[in-house]
Amino acid sequence: MVAFAAAVLTGGASRRMGRDKAFIEVGGLALARRVADAALDAGASSVTCVGGDASGLRALSLTVIADSYPGEGPLGAVLTAFDAIDAAVIAVLACDLPDLDAATVRLVVEALGDRAAVIAAHGAEHHPLVGAYAPASCRAAFTAAFDAGRRAMFDALDEVAFGLVEVPDSRVLRNANRPSDLR
């Protein structure tokens, strides 16, 4: 099994949801806790939340660090994770994935191999925030993209050797962006 740590991105504005997605309960657990537990169950050596309500996340028994680039999107949060987490492989996971499971996290991490990054896919749907990243291979390109004002994860991924790993069930990639997505 590949050794890895996980970063759960918890700093989004949650504008479409109308409240902080990290704390919305699904099945009795806050989304941030559910995603963190999936990573831990997959074998993550540690889970670190990046950004968001630090005191609320700590109340969920989660480790949290401040996003070095608040309001600058997920690429900034990924760079923050690369700088703060000492691991050769980091699973980067959005906090708004109510159906994410340990098997999917393991699948993505194990698929990394010698590539810089691998992201989950189901058909034409590609999800960079269910991905495994080798910071040593991604940091320079991601930083250059960020410094050039590019904020989309796909812009940064285009600069490195990345692959796709097909997940068998599209539900694990389902984001909860609006209240109706939780039904």
Locate tokens 């699973």: which residue? 91
* Distance of alpha carbon 57 from alpha carbon 168, whole angstroms: 31
Q: For residue 183, tell me if it sits in a domain.
A: no
Tell me whether residue 179 is in a domain: no
Which carries the bigger pLDDT value, residue 15 or residue 42?
42
Q: Is 166 within the bounds of a domain?
A: yes
Digit-coded pLDDT (tens) for 145-168: 999 999 989 999 999 989 999 999
Query: Between these two residues, 33 and 2, which has the higher pLDDT value?
Result: 33
| Overall average pLDDT of the 135-144 stretch | 97
Query: Which CATH number do you get for residue 117?
Result: 3.90.550.10
Provide the residue range defining the domain that includes 44. 5-174
171, two tokens: 């539900």
Q: Which pLDDT value is given to residue 179?
A: 57
Q: How many domains does the chain have?
A: 1
Q: Is 169 helix (H, G, I), strand (E, B) or coil?
A: coil
* Contacts (Cβ under 8 Å, ≥6 apart) of 177: 16, 17, 21, 96
Query: What's this model's pTM, rounded to 2 decimal places?
Result: 0.94
Question: Is residue 131 situated within a structural domain?
Answer: yes
Q: Dig out the tokens for 23 from the structure.
A: 């704390």
Residue holding tokens 């608040």?
Answer: 70
Query: Considering the chain, what is the average pLDDT of its residues?
Result: 92
What type of residue is 142? F
Task: Note whether residue 182 is domain-resident.
Answer: no
18 found inside a domain? yes
The predicted model gives 35-49 an average pLDDT of 98
